Amino acid sequence: MRWRTLKKTTQSVPNKSPKIEYAPFAPRALGFLTDIFMIGLPISLILMAVFGYDQMHTAGALDVITHNEKALHHPPNPLTSIAQIVLFMMITVELWHRYTQTPGKKLVHIRVVDAKTLKPASYWKLCLRFVGYFLSLISLVGFFIGFFRRDKRCLHDLLSGTAVIREG
């Protein structure tokens, strides 16, 4: 065997790791809003069937915070609110874990993955991510942290060790 031929066969091919493209704010927000309707609306309809129409039209959390008249005459039912949040969390976390995306994220071609391995995240991390949504919402800054980071991760992603990447 000639030296040239041996040299060509033993040279290692550079490892081409796939380029990771992190999802920007707009598709993430659109996916989240779509999920509110596609997951939240059926949950609301089921809870309306279980708890009754009147219980679903009580005051909301914002009415209570602002001391609105509606909160005085129709106080919110905490059981329906807790059931709605828990069901939304269970469905969302299961979809993130099983498919790495919810219907809204599938619509905008993005996935929720573990930030280090880029594989489906554990249930623990995904539950923490869901709770982190509320922290991001309360602070408002949490959602906008992604504008200043190269990996576009928001507060809930940083707390849970997840990342949102583009599909493909």
pLDDT per residue, tens digit, the chain (168 aa), is 565 665 555 555 555 666 889 999 999 999 999 999 999 999 988 988 888 877 666 666 666 667 777 667 777 677 888 888 999 999 999 999 999 999 999 999 999 999 999 999 999 999 999 999 999 988 888 989 999 999 999 999 999 999 999 987
Domain segments of the chain: what residues?
Answer: 21-166
pLDDT of 17 reads 63
Q: Note the pTM of the prediction, 2 decimals.
A: 0.80
pLDDT of 151 reads 92
Phi, psi of 110 (to 5 degrees): -130, 160
Cα→Cα distances 29→47, 96, 142, 164, Å: 26, 16, 13, 12
Phi, psi of 117 (to 5 degrees): -95, -15
pLDDT of 145 reads 92
